[in-house]
Every structure is written in C-alpha cells, then in structure tokens.
Amino acid sequence: MVRLELGREIPDKLGSVHFIGVGGSGMSGIARVLAERGLRVSGSDRFASEVTESLQGSGITVFVGHDPGHLGAATTVVISSAVREDNPELVEARARGLQVLHRSEALRWIIRGKRVLAVAGSHGKTTSTAMLATALDRSGRPIGAVNGGVVSEWGVSSRWGVDELFVIEADESDRSFVDYQPAVAMVTNIAPDHLDFYGTLEAIYDSFEEFARSATETVVLCADDEGTRHLATRLGDDVTTLTYGTDPQADVVQTDLGAGPLATFTVTYQGISARCELGVPGRLNALNATGVIASLVASGYALEDAARAASGFRGADRRFQFHGEIAGVRFYDDHAHHPTEVAAALETARAVVGEGSVITMFQPHLYSRTQYMASELAEAFSAGSDHTIFLDIFGSREDPIEGVTTDLILQRMAPGVSYDFEPDWDRACDLAVARAKPGDIVLTMSTGDLYQIVPQLLAAKQRSVEASGG
C-alpha cells in the first residue's frame, strides 16, 4: 500500500488528471468536483459499478481494469492509500515523472481559499457530512461539498460551490485528515478502528488531537461519547470547543427524542430552544443532527435557523437506506462494518420494525478487522438481530490472514441466538426471503459489495409472492 507523505506543498496547477481507483467513495467525489472545475479528468477501477457509470455520465472517462495506457496525456495522477505500489498505472506514472498526489492532497487543492467545515469521527461522519451540506444548501447557500457517500437529496457525493463555505468528510483511516486545517471541525466519536494502520488506540487519539488542533475557529465535540470527552481533556483550554449531545452539561443539549418512524427532538443552546424533525429514523441520526446544528451555530447561525436547516434530512445512500416493501417486508441496506456501527444500525432497525423481526445479512469487512473485533461483532448481532445470515469476509485492500474467517464471529455468538452461515449469495438470498414475514425488515449490512444483492432480494421476494398467488 502507498504511504502518505503529510504536509507536502500542493501544486498550483494539476493539468489533466487521472485517478487510479476512481470508483472509491472518496476518490469519485474528488474526481467529480475537479471535472466541474473544468479540468480534464479520467480514471480507472478494477470493476464497473454504479459509481463509475455515474462518473461516465458526468463526462469523465473511466476505464475498467488497470493498464499503463490508461494514463494517456495525464499530467497528474491521484491515488488513495489502498493503491499498491506495483499497480501498473502508478508504476508508469512514476517512470514518466508525473505529479502523483494522494486523494487528500487533491482535496486540499479543491478547498484552497475556502472556509472549510470538516466532519470527522470513527462512525457517523458520512451521514453528518451529508446533513451539514444539505442543511447549508437548504438555508440558501450555494456551498460545495465532498462526502464519502452519496447525499440522497443530491444523487451524488460531491459538488463544486461558489460560496465561501465548503463541507468535507475528513477521513481518519490513513491520518490524512490532519492536513486540512478547517475553520470548524466536528468530531462525532472516537473508537478503536483502522488498527491495521494505527496499531494502538493512543495513536488514534494522537491523530484526532492533531486534527482538532488544526481547526482555526471551533472544534465541535460530542459530549455523549467517551472518546471525544477524552479528546476534550487533551485539548484543554488551548482550543475553542462547542459540545453537543443529550448530556445536560453539553453546550447544545438534545431532549425530547422521538426515534421513529422519523426522528424528532428539541435542541437548546444558551437558554433558547428549537425543534427539529428529520426525514430519517433513529437515535443516532438525531445525535448526529444535533452535532450538525452545533456546527452551524459555530459557523455563525442562530439556533432556530440551524435547527430549521437541519430538518427534513433524507439520508445518505447506504446509511439505513430504504429500497422497497413487498408483501409487508421492508428491505434496507447499511454500510455498517464496525461493531459500534452494527449496533447503531440494528438499534435503528428495531425502532422502525415495531413488532416485526430484524433479519440481517452481514458481510464482514477486512481480515484484520474481523481478527481484532470478532467478539464485539458477535455481541452486536447476538443482541440486536433476530436472525443473521453471515457471508464470507470481503478482503478489500487486504490479503487473507491465515485462520481468519467468518467462523471467528460465529464461534462467539451467544448461545441460542439464531443465525446461518451461507457464503453462496444465491442461497443466502433464498434463506432471507424464506424467513421474512409481513412486518419484518431484511437489512443487508456491509461496506463491501453485498449491497449489490439488494435487487436480487427484491426480485426473489416478488417471485415468491407471485408463486403463492399473493
């Protein structure tokens, strides 16, 4: 994997830009904005996807597979930390002496001269970034944004904007977020993740502290999270902070929560209260929205205006995303892969399902994460899912680790808990459809490629209804 060199000076001109791995969640958004800025942009990825098709529809040339010839007349090549040094396109770029930028450096090029609002955190940052961007948009500001997931209201993950404000998701996975120097930095939570990169929780805290200290105005912290409370103690009085959450000691306090079917709550700041109603369910969505409101307040908005702007948020794709209802069975998809995210998604599902059952299909992500967190994943599914269908690990950027399989999770499931292991997608789909009854939820869960099974699930359920004469 490519190791990022932090703090490098960004070139004034990029020329023609080629992205290696353009279909990635962060890479695609940056590529789209550069194209909107008028640059000639191309890219390649291992497989075609909805993302690459969308980019092609925006006028970006996308190649499937990696070949040195794909570079064409590019003068700048953009990579992510997931790209391997022996990638043939990267080897060719280095041999030709082209500018090679990390995706975070390309993002820094985009946000030059902007007043940046950055959202970071181990979990919830994509949803919170989408909330913040759409809230500003709803308030009438032509802001730009680069998110790590599709903003449902926009149908894309990014856009250029002429406003001075620019919203970004600040990804901590490779420590690149310490270079952005935002005006306002929001941190949703801090948990042990990406340990394959960091090694220790202390190293994670060090990076979040560096990110927070890079903010030029205010750091917005969740008072409900142990990790961000610890970060606050590390920052001390050196940094201006604004806290949010259900904790009565927070600066922006959330009360009167109704978690579903749509989340509603009250926020109070300096003796003034306002009501907010989202277009999505769940306690965690409400907490993230409270953080967005706090970030807007830190940016200069009145509380009532901030709550009004945050109201109506309709979600980010692959964040408890509704895909359809057939014969009383509702189908959702979520990108959850860390135990904390899994537990939160299952909590939201429970708030929505009522008296029905939650049937989950889970594809573990990364061998290292499964190795580190098998017990926590088993605990989350044992507590929150009525029946779980486990699939094989999606290795993504990693090579297999000997002895690390989905069975590490299965061995730790609580006694008597209902689950199956079925690596074959067709049979896994049949298991889910056969079990689901009216009133139930089928929830696919993965940050890998399991989302691609959703149309198959819907089609299988429709066939079963027709076969039964329903």
Which residues are tagged catalytic?
A: 125-126, 169
Cα end-to-end distance, the chain, whole Å: 52
Contact 201/192 with Cβ under 8 angstroms?
yes
Contact 217/155 with Cβ under 8 angstroms?
no
Q: Distance between CA 291 and CA 241 in Å, rounded?
A: 12
Cα 44 to the center of its chain, rounded Å: 22
Amino acid identity, position 50: E
Contact 96/71 with Cβ under 8 angstroms?
yes
Query: Can you state the angle between helices 303-310 and 283-298, rounded to 10 degrees?
Result: 140
> Which tokens sit at 169?
């998701």
Q: Distance between CA 106 and CA 17 in Å, rounded?
A: 10
Cα dihedral sign for 221, 224, 228, 233?
positive
Burial bucket for residue 368 (CB in 10 Å: 0-12, 13-18, 19+): middle
Place of tokens 């929150």: 384
Q: Distance between CA 224 and CA 237 in Å, rounded?
A: 20
Query: What are the backbone angles phi and psi of residue 379, rounded to the nearest 5°?
Result: -65, -40
Contact 93/68 with Cβ under 8 angstroms?
no
